[in-house]
Structure 1
Amino acid sequence: MPMNGQTVGRDVSLDFMTSRGLLVIAAAAITNFTSAPVTTNTASKGMDGITRYGVFPDGWQGSLDIDRLGSGLDAYWAQIEADFYNGVNILPGTIMETIQEPDGSITQWRYIGVMFDFKDAGSKVANQLVKQKLSFMAARRLQVS
């Protein structure tokens, strides 16, 4: 539901596919999703004295802030940890980001080669929500539609 012709956070939905299958995180639990391109920058100064710059795409990174509504994220990470210590190959996953645009159209982005990183299981404090953080690194972001 865009507002005043602008995209708002409620216009975005996310699906997470891991090497262990679909990671279910309730939309109500996700309070923040960020993503940003990663770049490698170079510079070359020619004999003519002019500096020429290069900016090379080098993947994507991002994070999610999650209100803990159950043990799903903790259980997923426990399995990743167990796989790691048992010598199981942990394969990358994908993130599908779907955005309802202000004009009513739908845009979809697929992040591929995604490795997830459980950054914070949350502070457990009386009378406060437990906030968790999941970060990711992705090889690419492709436009699907």
Structure 2
Amino acid sequence: MSAMETAKAFFEACEAGEGWETCRGHCAPNATFAAQAGALVDVKTLEQYTEWMKGILTVLTDATYELKAFAEDREREQVCAFATFVGTHKAGGPVPPTGRTTRTDYVYVMRFQDGKIVHMTKVWNDGYALKELGWV
């Protein structure tokens, strides 16, 4: 499987909230994660992130995404995905359901080694999304 195919399969599984059980096959066992977002400050591995996504979809139950771009930089062994996440707070969460919706842009930058994702950086303005949802 090419890096692009692996990245797309990972992206789709992660965004569907399938968690680490499904996503692990696309990743190195100790794949790391980084984001400059307060909501993800304690998330350091891709396993933790995929499980975080699984959890967030129990709160934003209608969540979906609009894929804007998918690109590969073969020289640097990176694949980037740019999308807009859309979800409404309908259940559970840090506050009672607000019924408010977020439309928040984000980018995944996935670094590959030996055909597997070894690191992913998420570029995301969590403050904007949390404000739209009425969580701050």
TM-score by length of 1: 0.30
Flag the structure with higher helix content. Answer: 2
Provide TM-score, normalisation by structure 2: 0.31
